[in-house]
Structure 1
Amino acid sequence: MIRGIRGATTVENNEQDEIVNRSLEMMQAIITANQLDADDVVSVYFTVTEDLTDTFPAKSLRQMDGWTYVPVMCMREIPVPGSLKKCIRVMVTARTEIEQAQIQHVYHHQAVQLRPDLKS
């Protein structure tokens, strides 16, 4: 079965190290919570708000063993007025036997307000 797994986090500053570290923290939580293996991941899409320009959050995956060949893409989030600032979102598409309702979506830091119904 193919499932989509969502996640989001925020940073305090538009700085490469913080963007990569928060993205890595979020991805590690998604991987652990959903028992993912890189070989089962179809693709990973990151989006960032327009105030994050210092680096690509995809760099976080390149720090993890076994994730070299996973297709990753970064895009800009739609700049909706009043939306959460300095936010990194992710959509992981993976093969898994986990039921849809059992997928663990991960929301960290200020991003918890995006989906309070999906506490992680």
Structure 2
Amino acid sequence: MAVRAIRGATQLESDEREHMLERVSEMVLDAMGANGLTLDDFISVIFTATSDLHSEFPAYAARQLGFTDIPLICARELEIAGSMPRVVRMMAHVETDLARADITHVYLHGAAALRSDLAKVRSVPDA
């Protein structure tokens, strides 16, 4: 069993609490499904949000999914000119038998454009 990091990102259409919870939950569940993970596999999760998002803590969405005894933390993303707005990112540390090359990172909605270089990205563009 190895410790691996799984990345994810999603873009929100607007800074609304329910929309934040929906998009972050989708990102977390997609990362779990794509990598065959259960709650017991998680060590910790770091969430970042761009400075234009302040309707809710992204970690609260994970808490609602049952991440009650898993260390979670939220932080601000760097404010770089021209960077994508309304983005929540995640780095989850997990125990898994997957090789590093077999990890599937999840980039959803507009955030799919952030890491088009990753071959195993599961991405969902905005409709």
Give the TM bin, normalised by the shorter chain: over 0.9
Question: AA paired with 1:84?
Answer: M
User: What are the Cα deviations for residues 17-63 of structure 1, in whole angstroms up to 9, with x where unaligned?
Assistant: 01111000000000011111211211000000000011101111122
Question: AA paired with 1:3?
Answer: R
In the TM superposition, what are the counterparts of 1:15-54 in structure 2 within 5 Å? 15-54=16-55
SS at structure 2 position matched to 1:50: coil
5+ residue gaps, structure 2: 123-127
What is the deviation of 1:99? 0.4
TM-score, normalising length: structure 2: 0.91
Question: AA paired with 1:92?
Answer: A
Find the counterpart in structure 2 of residue 61 from structure 1: 62
Runs of 4 or more consecutive aligned structure 1 residues displaced over 3 Å after TM superposition: none
Percent identity of equivalent pairs: 41
Question: AA paired with 1:71?
Answer: P
Find the counterpart in structure 1 of residue 125 from structure 2: none
SS at structure 2 position matched to 1:117: coil
Find the counterpart in structure 1 of residue 102 from structure 2: 102
Question: AA paired with 1:105?
Answer: H
Question: AA paired with 2:22?
Answer: N
Find the counterpart in structure 2 of residue 81 from structure 1: 81
What is the deviation of 1:117? 2.2
What is the deviation of 1:9? 0.3
Q: Residues of 2 paired with 1:48 and 1:106: CA distance?
A: 16
Number of aligned positions between the proteins: 119
TM-score, normalising length: structure 1: 0.96
5+ residue gaps, structure 1: none
Q: Residues of 1 paired with 2:22 and 2:14: CA distance?
A: 12
Q: Residues of 2 paired with 1:29 and 1:40: CA distance?
A: 15
